Chain A
């Protein structure tokens, strides 16, 4: 099976612009999560989509948005870019696993998109 793919791998944008990142999950995975990773803040959860609906959301401003399509592919959009948005953006697709108290998920990550805002 192919892994999680993210495009593009690298992006350079200017402050004030907007950007769209794409993620294709592993075939059969219906859940996609997005994370921002920076040296200062570490790994921060942005949002999760399941069956085209946002199921969880992290603590990010409204400039960060996402969506999921019927084929489970997902996009995230950042509008009015700021210098602080420079980061590695990671996408993960999820497979349910069954533990003692019910099901949870394990996540498989893509290679990330490195966004640099100048």
Chain B
């Protein structure tokens, strides 16, 4: 079945450090891939997405590239800020399984000044 595996947290970085959060997936079809972010006390917000191989999703300085050959969708940001502290979820939506989403376990990021 479909699944998403993302790196365990928590991750603690200093402000302006480089961020990578790894995400790999397993899918029976040709999925669309997403990163969501959840700030304390809130729901999930769509951060970026990619719908086909080699697509790069980007938003607010975050980027992720859909790599079909390595079944990966790693999240990166060149210079994190304190305001990026949140939990990040990798997810896929596979047309084979209709609208069911598969989420990773989430990676907590704390950025210290």
Contact = CB atoms under 8 A, between A and B. Distances in A.
Contacts, number: 76
B19 interface: no
B19 to A, nearest CB: 21
Contacts of A42: 103, 105-106
Contacts of A60: none
Contacts of B103: 42-43
Given A42-B106, A109-B43, A56 B49 contact: no
Interface in A1-50: 4, 31, 33, 42-43, 45, 48, 50
Interface residues of A, number: 29
Nearest to B93: A104
B99 A100 contact: no
Interface string B70-101: 00000000000000000001000111011111
Given A90-B43, A100-B53, A110-B43, A48 B100 contact: yes
Q: Chain B contact residues (Cβ within 8 angstroms of A): what range?
A: 20 to 34
A106 to B, nearest CB: 6
Contact of B89 (A43, A48, A100, A108): A43
A101 B29 contact: yes
Contacts of B99: 31, 33, 48, 50, 55-56, 94, 104-105
Given A48-B100, A55-B99, A99 B30 contact: yes
A42 B87 CA distance: 11
A18 B106 CA distance: 30
A43 B106 contact: yes
A103 B95 CA distance: 6
Interface of B: 29-32, 34, 36, 42-46, 49, 51-53, 89, 93-95, 97-101, 103, 105-106
